[in-house]
Amino acid sequence: MLKLENVSRRFATFTAVNGVTLSIPAGQMVGVIGRSGAGKSTLLRMLNRLIDPSGGRIGFGETDVTALRGAKLRRWQRDCAMIFQQFNLVPRIDVLTNVLLGRLNHRNTVLNLLGIFSDEERVKALAALDRLGIAQTALQMAGTLSGGQQQRVAIARALMQEPKVILADEPIASLDPLNAEIVMDALRDINEKEGITVITNLHTLDTARAYCERIVGLAAGEVVFDGAPEALTSDVVRRIYGADDKALSEHITSTSISRPRAEAAQAPQRFRPVLEAG
């Protein structure tokens, strides 16, 4: 269980996140929505302590995440993998090595300095790529892949961390609808098969509705909705995005992703379960 109690973040005099309280049980897939500037990225970054809250407490099980320092903080950041809109791969090295970089926090400094990975780690990295349907790209330079492929590499790298939580900050905002669907299907598959908690910021409402069992709506740094997609009435949607019709239509139309979870469960399996290495 991930618990946020009255979490806030100020930048100088501006409050970006204001008194957010949420309990997220292990294994949930949560979509965070809200208009630009609502505080979605700030909230996600506080969860893995890329930035520190100005107030409040974040807990994970018995751990007070807000109090972690040094090695314990690094361990939390390993448990809490992050996926970004811009993929954040190293473009001039091959895909397999990019995926292996997900192991760095599991290893000692000397091995990392020497860049030595074990056969077991390589097998695991290949299995992660295979699971995401891109094993054939393993030896290509990451920068030569399409956006959708690069985001799948980033997910494979996140899996190598063996995380308990995956935090994805607008993972499909740079992708076309087909690649967006492949990436969201991959996140859902990981959530359902491994039971890894997924918390993802999403730009469009349709995607959040289709993929997330729970939606958190932020407006001006505050939670204005927290519930199942079915409870998102048009009034609630206006509260989240504001009554400005232009902003509303921007978030509601756009993607072609609209396959509900239950229906997707019956669809042919696109991803293989990850092979257990070692």
Q: How far is the CB of 101 from Mg ion (least distance, A)?
A: 24
Q: Does the footprint of Mg ion cover residue 204 (CB under 5 A)?
A: no
- Tokens 């996600």 correspond to what residue? 44
CB-nearer residue toward ligand ATP: 11 or 231:
11
What tokens appear for 264 in the block? 């997707």
Q: Does the footprint of ligand ATP cover residue 53 (CB under 6 A)?
A: no
CB-nearer residue toward ligand ATP: 16 or 248:
16
Q: Does the footprint of ligand ATP cover residue 91 (CB under 6 A)?
A: no
CB-nearer residue toward ligand ATP: 138 or 166:
166
Tell me if 28 sits within 8 A of 34, measured CB to CB. Answer: no
Q: How far is the CB of 249 from ligand ATP (least distance, A)?
A: 16
Tell me if 100 sits within 8 A of 117, measured CB to CB. Answer: yes
Q: How far is the CB of 109 from ligand ATP (least distance, A)?
A: 30
CB-nearer residue toward ligand ATP: 42 or 151:
42
Q: How far is the CB of 225 from Mg ion (least distance, A)?
A: 18
At 227, which helix (H) or strand (E)?
strand 222-227
Chain positions 21 to 50 lying near ligand ATP, rule: CB under 6 A, are 34, 36-42
d(CA 153, CA 99): 7
SS3 string of 28-67?
CEEEEECCCCCCHHHHHHHHCCCCCCCEEEEEECCEEHHH
Residue from 18, 28, 41, 98 touching Mg ion (CB under 5 A): that is 41
Q: How far is the CB of 203 from ligand ATP (least distance, A)?
A: 6
39 binds, options Mg ion, ligand ATP, none, Cβ within 5 to 8 A by partner type: ligand ATP
d(CA 237, CA 243): 9
Q: How far is the CB of 254 from ligand ATP (least distance, A)?
A: 14
Rg over alpha carbons for the chain, rounded to the nearest Å, is 19
Q: Does the footprint of ligand ATP cover residue 18 (CB under 6 A)?
A: no
Classify burial at 109, counting beta carbons within 10 Å of its beta carbon; exposed 0-12, middle 13-18, buried 19 or more.
exposed
Scanning 24-32, 38-46, 128-136, 145-153 for contacts with Mg ion by CB under 5 A, the matching segment is 38-46
- Tokens 């990019």 correspond to what residue? 98
CA atoms in the 13 A half-sphere facing the CB of 164:
14
Residues that bind Mg ion in the complex, under the rule CB under 5 A: 40-41
Interface residue list for ligand ATP (CB under 6 A):
11, 16, 34, 36-42
